[in-house]
Chain A
Amino acid sequence: MDAFTTHTGTAAPLRRSNVDTDQIIPAEYLKRITRTGFEDGLFVAWRTNEPDFVLNQPQYADASILVAGPDFGTGSSREHANWALLDGGFRVVISSRFADIFRNNSTKSGLLTVILPQDQVEALWTAIEADPALPVTVDLQAKEVRYGSTAVPFEIDDYVRWRLLEGLDDVGLTERHLDDVAAFEAQRPAWLPKALPALPA
């Protein structure tokens, strides 16, 4: 995972609520067994069927920050949704509310999700619609979103922030505690099920 410290780019306003993972990337793109190259599936139905969809507008084509309505990322557990956004050039998604699994996946893939109050999302929408070239900075060190003369603080779990700032791999961190895992395993009840061997019905 790439480290995330601070990012400055332009932002695209996605004025939709309940953007589900099937819209972010449809299931047919999930048949691939690679971890990259999902940009062609990103919002593909809306990009194909709606000429005025925000990401079809040239002034937002290079946006790297997505500013979405509430309940972004609902539905499936597919981390492909996070990968597709990263592959599509996004480093940050801002919304007033994210689905739990999507948000958790983002902390593993290096996509930063920032929660702002809905009125702050609206203010940001207004600003980037007035000036699509407006630089927006998302500063994870300072826990702040800045644009024009505005600075809006945001909250994020300290441990998640540290991992993102350092670009650390969770598995490596957990492997430091495998003695604790072995001790836990030693006291698990013997009757708990095992998948091996297969038993007859």
Chain B
Amino acid sequence: MGRTLAQKVYEQHVVRRTAGEPDLLYIDLHLVHEVTSPQAFDGLRAAGRTVRRPDLTMATEDHNVPTLDILKPIADPVSRAQVEALRRNTAEFGIRLAPMGDRDQGIVHVIGPQLGLTQPGMTIVCGDSHTSTHGAFGALAFGIGTSEVEHVLATQTLPQHPAKQMAVTVDGKLPRGVSAKDIILAVIAEIGTGGGQGHVIEYRGSAIEALSMEARMTICNMSIEAGARAGLIAPDQTTFDFLQGRPHAPQGADWDAAVAHWRTLRSDDDAVFDREVHIDAASLTPYVTWGTNPGQGLPIGERVPDPAQIADESERRAAESALAYMGLTPGTPLREIEVDTVFLGSCTNGRIEDLRVAAEMLRGRTIDPHTRMLVVPGSVGVKQQAEAEGLDRVFLEAGAEWRGAGCSMCLGMNPDQLKPGERSASTSNRNFQGRQGKGGRTHLVSPAVAAATALTGRLTAPSDLTDVRATAGV
């Protein structure tokens, strides 16, 4: 029987296999940030252990970092103490750190690919559930808890069981103005937040193959929102072209050897998946969420659903509670929902391509005067690239705020938060209650919908803006 891509990568990393025990899996790259690592380093110290492979470990500061005044000390003493703990720990254990102000600093899932540390066929972990992002390169990448962070630091391995295999096949051509974010929101709405539980998802099909690496990262990033710890896409020429020339990509003969291996990383034709889902790309329209979990999403042309018409009791109760929290009335057209804030950024949609799409829609226009738009590049590298292309001027001239790099309003661990009752259109990944600030209300959207929404002040599809459409190519 053939094997899937995920099974191949897994098998290539089994250090030890014994009946009745989990496999011991080797980890090629361990990414570290300030929030989920301090207790792991304390554990190492308490047991007198060291970091086995500091050369396969990379740390950055992202969750707590302010996006204004980043060269000053962090004002919040608790955030500052956490960042300082990371600096002490990485210095003590000999781990490379990209701190605030460093050219390599940024959201951990943006800098791995940017530096070329993320490559096909690798195993990659981080104490962060959006580690699934790196699966876009054909890596097996998943989030872990702090106990496992400690385990990887100490041994460069993890005890693991093989996952079940799911294929999500997206064929056809995406309509204009519809993007990778809409694909993954549609997938999550289809299979639910628990649909991928216990599985690794492989995304495949002609619509996936046509996507850029940035777009593939957006899709793999939100695998966890469908319940799957990991999602991945077979590497191809698009992957190789993205990687070639990056600081940590192989060079010369090493490049040729690596590409020869990477070309073998595909699911066999006779590989068997435990579950298969098919999506027709041509049928998709922009998606927005209306509720408080990422599965509560609909095409933007729909209306706020009526819980009374939901048969499943648990789903109905969840919808009632979500609408109460979101302050929405059943039957309201989604396009009539007014927002206070638009957030463009995060490990889901904070890369250069996301900023380009939004900037092209805003070029020469002004955002709605009652709407605040925050643009937060995913990394210093993305910020510098955007500024070299003049995108910062476009955002500023449209009335948006241009900020420093970090996780920012995706989860509001820094000062970028919604106030109670405020409503956002956000390109991030989670619309959980209070995620973006206590009492804040989040609608998940694509970068194009975020920009269109900023222009009108209510949830808006790019195609609604007839005057913008011609210039933005959407």
Binding site for B on A (CB under 8 A): 15-18, 20, 22-23, 26-28, 30-35, 45, 69-71, 74-80, 82, 97, 99-101, 104-105, 108-109, 157-159, 170-171, 173-175, 177-178, 180-181, 184-185, 188-201
Contacts and interface: CB of A to CB of B under 8 A. Distances in A.
Contact of A97 (B194, B228, B249): B194
A74 B81 contact: no
Nearest to B192: A71
Nearest to B384: A201
B56 A22 contact: no
Interface stretch (B154-162, B388-396, B460-468): B154-162
A171 B147 CA distance: 9
Contact of A101 (B29, B96, B129): B129
B220 interface: no
Nearest to A158: B20
Interface of B: 15-16, 20-22, 24, 26, 28-29, 35-36, 38-39, 42-43, 47, 49, 52, 54-58, 63-64, 76, 78-79, 81-82, 85, 95-96, 103-104, 115-117, 119, 122, 127-129, 131, 143-148, 150-151, 154-157, 159, 161, 193-194, 197-198, 224, 227-229, 247-250, 254-255, 257-258, 261, 293, 295, 314-315, 317-318, 321, 381, 411-413, 430, 432-435, 438
A174 B155 contact: yes
B133 to A, nearest CB: 13
Contacts of A75: 129, 224, 430, 432
Nearest to A82: B145
A18 B195 CA distance: 12
Nearest to A107: B147
A184 B56 contact: no
A200 B194 contact: no
A131 B57 CA distance: 52
B432 A184 contact: no
Contacts, number: 216
A31 to B, nearest CB: 4
B29 A22 contact: no
Contacts of A170: 147, 151, 159
B156 A181 contact: yes
B430 A79 contact: no
Given A76-B129, A99-B227, A171-B49, 13 more contacts: A18-B193, A22-B432, A22-B434, A31-B64, A33-B38, A69-B314, A104-B144, A105-B146, A180-B16, A192-B119, A193-B248, A195-B54, A195-B57
A30 B413 contact: yes
A17 B314 contact: yes
A173 B79 CA distance: 34
Given A159-B21, A181-B15, A198-B96, A77 B55 contact: no
Contacts of A192: 28, 119, 122
A172 B416 CA distance: 41
A196 B15 contact: no
Contact of B145 (A27, A32, A70, A79): A79
B55 to A, nearest CB: 4
A80 B413 CA distance: 15
Contacts of B43: 171
Contacts of A16: 317-318, 321
Contacts of A194: 55-56, 248
B164 to A, nearest CB: 11
Contacts of A26: 434, 438
